[in-house]
Structure 1
Amino acid sequence: MSGMKLGWDLETGLERYISSWKSVDNPAKGEITTRVDLRGYPQVIMFNGSSHIIFRSGPWNGQSLAGSPGSNSALSQIFVFNEKEVYYEYQILDSSIFSVLKLMPYGPAQNLFWTSQSRNRQVLPTSADECQIYAFCGANSVCSIDGNNHPNCECMKGYVPKFSEEWNLAFWSNGCIRTKELSYTDGFLKYTLVKVPDTSSSWFSKKLNLEECQNICLRNGSCVAYANIDIRNGGSGCLIWFNNLMDVRKFSKWGQDLYVRVSPSELGVARKFCCSICNTKPRKEDLDLTTIDLSVLVKATDNFSSSNKLGEGGFGPVYKGTMVDGQEIAVKRLSKKSGQGLQEFKNEVALIAKLQHRNLVKLLGCCTQGGETMLIYEYMPNKNEIERMSLDWTKRFNIISGIAWGLLYLHRDSRLRIVHRDLKASNILLDANLDPKISDFGLARTFFGDQVEANTNRVAGTYGYMPPEYADRGHFSMKSDVFSYGVIVLEIVSGKKNTKFSDPEYYHNLLGYAWRLWSEERALELLDESLRQQCTPSEVIRCVQVGLLCVQQRPEDRPDISSVVLMLNGEKLLPKPNVPGFYIENNVKPELDSSSTDHNLFSTNGISITVLVAR
C-alpha cells in the first residue's frame, strides 16, 4: 500500500510537503511545491516559488478536496485538523497497485502507477482542463467547461467584467467587480456544484450551522459569501469569505453549495423594512399583541397565589400560570409600588412585541383590565439555574454563546437597534432545554440611524453590571450591554456573583480577581472548582479572555457583540484585554475603618432598578 501525506505538526512547526526537481535531469529542489496552506481555512495548494499559486486542490469538504471532487473506491482519503496537527492524506487500498505523485519542474503534476503484475508504468496527468489553472477567470467569476472541453468564464450575479472589452475577447484574467455596495438589506444567491473559493482570506468556525453562518456574513460589511465546511449529513460548520472570491469553478456532477451575497434587486425581491412601533405613543394596531382577559389570568394563577409566585423584580411580582389548554405562562404584574411604572410597561410592550429570536423571551400577550397592568410571557422552567450555577461546562458555554446571539439580534439584526441597559444574570432565563433567553426590556432604549451613544439624567440598572461611563456620567451605548455581558460571562465561568465576591487577598471584585489571574497566566483557576475535571481548558480560557475584553474600562476598547460571537466560536488568537472597569491596583490589604460595618463595594440588592443623579 502506498500513499501521500501533506501537512503540519503545529506543536513543532514541522511541515510535510512535495517539491519538484530543479529540472528533468537535476534532482535538486525545484520551484514547484504542493503543500497545506494554513492561511484562513487550511487547503492544499501548488505553488511556483514561495507565493505564486498555479493550482489549488482546495479545502477538505468532508468527502474530498474541493478541487478534486467525487469518490474513488481505490483510495482512502482523510483530513485531520486539531490543535496539534493539520494534514491531508490519501492511501491506495489495493496493495497490488503502486503510485507515485511526481511534480514536474514546469508545473503540472503526474501520477505514475503500476501493478505488481506489470512493470509498465502508466501516467495520469492531475490537471485535465484550463479551469484547474488557478483563478483562470479572475476574481468574482465562475469557470466552467463546455462539451468540447473549452473553458468559459461568467461573472457572478451582481458583478460585471472589470474590463468589458477584454472580457468580450475571452481575456478573462482581470475578473469581475461588484456593481453595488454591500448593504444589510442584501440577500444570498446559491451556486450549486462548485469548487468553493480560495480560503486563504476566509474566516471559519466548526461549531456554527448554515443559518448562523448566513447571519454573521450579512452583519459583516466585508463578507461576500458563505458555505458549509463539511457537506456530509446535511452540512455543518461555517466558512465565510471577504472581499474577492477567487478560483471558483462549476462542476457538472460533483461540488458543493456556495451562497454569494447580492442586492435585493438581483434576487428579484423588494425588501421593505419598517418600524411601526417607533411612534411616540404606540397604537394598538401597531403592536399586534394578544389581549388576555383578567379572569383568565386569575384562574391560571390561582388568583395570584403566593405558591405560584416566581419572584419579584423592579416591575413587580411574577407568577406562574397554567392556561386551560395546559400551556404554562409567566405573568408579570405591575406593582402599585413599582419604581418602573406605566412608562416602562409601555416601553417593554412596544419593544419586545416586535422581537422574535430564540434567545429572547417571548411575549405572549398583555392585560390592562380592572386597574391591573400585566405582561404574559412564555414560562421558563429553569429560570433560577443560571444564578445557582448548578450546570456542567458544556451547558455553561451554551448559555454564554446563546446570550451573545440574543444580544447580536438586539444590536444588529432586529428591526430596531436596541440597548437593553439592564443585562444581568437574573434577567437571563433558561427554557426546558437550558437554552438562555434574555428578558426584562423595561429599561431598554432604541437607537436610530447612525446613533452610537445616548445620555440620561436617570441612571437605572443594577450595580455590578453597569459600566463606568454609565454609572458615572449617564452615558450608555451598545458597548454598555457588552460590559454587562462580560460580567455575566465571568460569573458563569466562575460560579460567583460579581456583587458578592471579594478577592480575599486584594479585596477586588470578581472582575479584578479575573484580571489578576489572567495577568498571572492563571486564568483557568477562575473556573468553578466543581468543573475542573470536566471542562475543555482552551474553551474556558477563551471565555475568560472574551469576558475581560468585554469589561475593559474604555468603551472603545470593548469589542462589539458581533466580534464577540466570532471570538467565542472561532479558532484564532484573540487580542489581549486591558484593565477592567472599576479596577483599583492594590498590593496590600486596605486598612478598614473600625467604625464601618459594611465594606461591600457594590450593593447586593437584586432589585433591577437603581436610581442615581448623574454627575
Structure 2
Amino acid sequence: MKNGNDSDPEKFLWQSFDYPCDTALPGMKFGRNTVTGLEWYLSSWKSTDDPSKGNFTYRLDPSGFPQLILRSGSAVTFRSGPWNGLRFSGFPEIRSNPVYKYAFVLNEEEMYYTYELLNSSVITRLVLSPNGYVQRFTWIDRTRGWILYSSAQKDDCDSYALCGAYGSCNINHSPKCTCMKGFVPKFPNEWSMVDWSNGCVRSTPLDCHKGEGFVKYSGVKLPDTRNSWFNESMSLKECASMCLGNCSCTAYANSDIRNGGSGCLLWFGDLIDIREFAENGQELYVRMAASELGKVKHYLEGGEANERHEHLELPLFDLAALLSATNNFSSDNKLGEGGFGPVYKGILQEGQEIAIKRLSKNSRQGLNEFKNEVESIAKLQHRNLVKLLGCCIHGNERMLIYEFMPNKSLDFFIFDQMRSVVLDWPKRFVIINGVARGLLYLHQDSRLRVIHRDLKAENVLLDSEMSPKISDFGLARSFGGNETEANTTRVAGTLGYMSPEYATEGLYSTKSDVFSFGVLVLEIVTGKRNRGFFHPDHGYNLLGHAWTLYMEGRSLELIDPSMGDTYNLSEVLRTINMGLLCVQRFPSDRPSMHSVVLMLGSEGAVPQPKEPCFFTERNVLEANPFPGEHMLFSGNETSITLLEAR
C-alpha cells in the first residue's frame, strides 16, 4: 500500500514483506528497525493445516552482538551464532555460490539479515515449520513440487546449550559433549549418565592476577553472544588487551573474519552453546588462570605480548610436556624424517596422540619454512587438511605439533607391492576426491588463497579411516605481499611433481598445484612413481607412458594390478582422463580445482587432454633459470629449493 502523492519508490504505508508470518522470501528483511520499532521475524503455524500462531518464533536478538534465535515459547532451542562477515558462525555450510547472496546489515537505524537470488530461475522459500525447524525449500518444475534444500538444525549439537556452560559438542565424537581444556564437569555423576545440561566449571578459578592468558580454540561455533560487547574497529591484539584489563571478561574473538580478521567481540560470564566444526568454524580465545597455561598456552599472557612470537597466533606447547610425551625424543618414537627434520610420535598426559615435527639444526629448510607453516596452516580448517594443534619455541628449538595420523602417508601404501592391496579402487577414489577438495579449499574457499607448492604422496597423510589429509605447508604461499601470485625468485618443490613453468621459470599459481595433483592421481591409479619410472619400450616418465597408452586406447593397462577387479571401469577411465588434463604443458589448459571436483562428482563428458609435458629431473637441473643459485635436496623423495644469491 502506497500514498499516491509520494514519489519515493522505497516508501510504503504497508507491505506484506514486513509481516513474513512463517515464510521468508528472497529480498525480505529479517531483524528490526531500531528507529520505528518494526520487527521482521518468523512465527510458525500451529499445525500444517492450522495457520494460527504456533509455539515457535525465529527472530534476530539485538542483545550483545546480534544473532538469530529460535524459541519455543520463551525457551531458546537453537541459535545461529553471530554474523562474521561471511556467514552466521553456526552455519559453516554457507559460502559464496551462484544461486544465493547472503547479507547482514547493522547500522544506527536497522539490523537485519536478508538473502537474494542470483539465479532468477530458482524459486525458493525459507520456512519455520510447526514443529520448530527452520528449512529452505526449492521448487522443482519436473515434479511440480517443493524439495528440502537445507535445514538450519543439522544434528543434536544444534540443540541449544546441549553441553552446558564451557562444554563443547562434536557430533563425530562419543560422547558428543566434552569439557573445554582446564574445565571439569560441574556434577560428575550426572555427566557420566549423559546429562550434560549443567556443563563444566573451571579447574582453577580466575583471580584477575597477572599471568592469566588465553587458550585458542579453532573451528568452533562462537558462544551465545547475548552477554557480549563488540567494537568493529579494534584489532585482535587490542581485543586481547581489553579482555585482560576487565576481570569479568572470559573470552574474545574477531567479530569479522574477512581479510585476515578484524573487530573485537568480548564475552562476559559463562560461555554457552559451543560446538566444533570440521570446516569453516571460527577462532575463540578463552581466558585461563596462569596455572592452567603450563601445558598449552596462548602467545599473549599477562597483558604483555612477546614480540618474537606475536604473529604465531596458535597454542604454544611447553618443551617439558613434549619431552615427556616422546620419552625425550627417543628413537622408538621416531616416525621418519623429511626436509624440515625428524618427526616423532608423542602421547600427552591426557592421552592425546600427537605428531611432532622438530626443526633439524642442519636443515636448510629452516626458520622461514617453520614460520610459514605456522602462519599458513594456523588459519586453515578443513577435513582434508592435517590439523595443526600448536607449536613449541624454546631457545633454538622449533617444533610443530599436529594431530597424529595412524596410517602414515599415502606413499607408505601406494608404492609398496604388499601394502598396496589395502587400497582397493573405492578407497583410492575417496583419497583422490579428498585431496581435490582440500586443494579446492586452499585455492578458493579459505580466508587466504594458498598455493601448496609441494603436493606429493608423502604429504598426503591417512587417518584411521584412510581418509586423506594434506600436510607439510612449509613451502606454501598465500597470494599478496611482495611476491606475486605468478612469480618467485625462490623455487622449491619435489622433482616429479613440479609443473614445468614453475621448475624452469619460477612461475607459480594455483595451476602449479593442479599439475602436482594430476601427477598424484596417475600415481594413485598406477601404483608407480612418476619420478624414476622405467618402461622397457621407451624412455618416458609416467606421464609420457600414460599419454601413450591413452592415445592407443589402452588406458586400462595403467591400472595397478593390486586393485584386482574392485574398480568401476568408467570411473577409473574418467579419472585417468582427468589426471592427464591436470598435467597439461600450459597452465591455461589445466582445469581449476573447482572443475576437477565437479568432474570427479559427475558422469558427464570430460574434455579431451592434449599431449602433456613429459618432464624429467634432468629437465629441471638443466633449465635452472637463476644462475648463481644453488639447489637443495632433502628427504626421502628428492625436494629441490633454489635459493636467491646474495
**TM band (smaller chain):** 0.5 to 0.7
1:282–1:350 CA contact under 8 A, matched in 2: no
| CA shift digits 1:75-124 (9 cap, x unpaired) | xxxxxxxxxxxxxxxxxxxxxxxxxxxxxxxxxxxxxxxxxxxxxxxxxx
1:397 aligns with one of 426, 429, 434: 429
Instruction: Please state how far the C-alpha of 1:551 moved relative to its aligned partner.
Output: 0.5
Match of residue 288 from structure 1: 313
Correspondent of 1:508 among 521, 531, 540: 540
The 2-side partners of 1:298 and 1:258 are apart by 50
Q: Partner of 1:275 in structure 2?
A: 260
Contact 2:26 2:125 in 1 (8 A): no
Q: Quick one: which amino acid aligns to residue 410 of structure 1?
A: L
What is the rounded CA distance, in whole Å, between the counterparts of 2:314 and 2:320 in structure 1?
18
Query: Deviation at 1:243?
Result: 3.5
Matches within 5 A, 1:375-524: 375-389=400-414, 390=420, 391-448=423-480, 453-524=485-556
In the alignment, the residues of structure 1 paired with residue 531 and residue 333 of structure 2 have an alpha-carbon distance, to the nearest angstrom, of 28
Distance 1:298 1:247, change over 3 A: closer
Kindly provide the amino acid, as one letter, of the partner of residue 26 in structure 2: M
* TM-aligned CA distance change 1:363 to 1:608, over 3 Å: farther
Deviation at 1:258? 3.5
How much has 1:414 moved relative to structure 2? 1.0
State the 1:606 CA deviation: 2.8
Provide the aligned length of Structure 1 versus Structure 2.
Answer: 367
Who is 1:612 aligned against?
642
Residues 284-313 of structure 1 deviation map (CA, whole Å, 9 limit, x = unaligned): 455431111111111111111112111111
The within-5 A match list for 1:311-350 is: 311-350=336-375
CA distance in 2 between partners of 1:604 and 1:544 (Å): 30
1:191-202 aligned within 5 A: none
Asked if the contact 1:216/1:562 (under 8 Å) is kept, the reply is no
Q: 1:480 to 1:305 in 2, by over 3 A?
A: same
Q: Give the AA of the match of 2:353.
A: E
Q: 1:223 to 1:305 in 2, by over 3 A?
A: same
Equivalent position amino acid for 1:466 in 2: M
User: Do 2:515 and 2:582's aligned partners in 1 also have CA atoms closer than 8 Å?
Assistant: yes
- What CA distance in whole angstroms lies between the structure 2 residues aligned with 1:247 and 1:328? 49
Query: Equivalent residue of 1:433, what SS?
Result: coil
Aligned partners of 2:93, 2:534: CA distance in 1, in Å?
A: 38
- Quick one: which amino acid aligns to residue 329 of structure 1? I
Q: Secondary structure at the match of 1:454?
A: coil
Kindly indicate whether the alpha-carbon contact (under 8 Å) linking 1:401 and 1:565 is maintained by their aligned counterparts in 2. yes
Alignment partner, residue 322 of structure 2: 297
Give the C-alpha shift of residue 456 in structure 1.
1.8
* CA distance in structure 1 between the aligned counterparts of 2:523 and 2:355, rounded to whole angstroms: 26
Conservation of the 8 A alpha-carbon contact between 2:410 and 2:457? no
Match of 2:537, SS state, is: coil
Q: Percent identity?
A: 55
CA contact (8 A) 1:422 1:443 kept: yes
TM-score by length of 1: 0.54
**Residue 362 of structure 1: which of 387, 390, 394 is its match?**
387
- Does the Cα contact within 8 Å between 1:417 and 1:448 map onto a contact in 2? no
Give the superposition deviation at 1:247: 6.4
Shift of 1:553: 0.4
Per the alignment, residue 256 of structure 1 pairs with 147
Report how far residue 579 of structure 1 moved. 1.3
Does the CA contact (< 8 Å) of 1:339 and 1:609 recur in 2?
no
Tell me if the contact between 1:468 and 1:582 (Cα under 8 Å) persists in the aligned partners: no
Q: Which amino acid aligns with 1:502?
A: F
Larger radius of gyration: 1
- The equivalences for 1:520-539 within 5 A come to 520-539=552-571
Between 364-373 and 281-290, the greater mean CA deviation after superposition: 281-290
- Preserved contact between residue 317 and residue 390 of structure 2 (Cα < 8 Å): yes
- Report SS of the residue matched to 2:369: helix
Cross-structure match for 1:92: none
Say if 2:121 is the partner of 1:245. yes
Give the TM-score taking structure 2 as reference length: 0.52
Of the candidates 132, 157, 165, which is equivalent to residue 27 of structure 2?
157
Aligned residue number for residue 604 of structure 2: 572
* Cα distance, 1:158 vs structure 2: 7.2
Q: Distance in 1 between matches of 2:351 and 2:126?
A: 53
Give the drift of 1:154: 10
Letter in 2 for 1:610: I
Q: Deviations over 1:169-194 (max 9, x none)?
A: xxxxxxxxxxxxxxxxxxxx9xxxxx
Q: Give the 3 Å change call, closer, same or farther, for CA 386–395 of structure 1 in structure 2.
A: farther
Q: Deviations over 1:229-284 (max 9, x none)?
A: xxxxxxxxxxxx98332566999997322469xxxxxxxx996513159xxx9974
* Unmatched tracts of structure 2, length 5 or more: 1-22, 30-67, 69-90, 103-116, 131-144, 152-231, 233-254, 263-305, 415-419, 617-632
One-letter amino acid of the counterpart of residue 244, structure 1: S
Q: 1:465 to 1:377 in 2, by over 3 A?
A: same
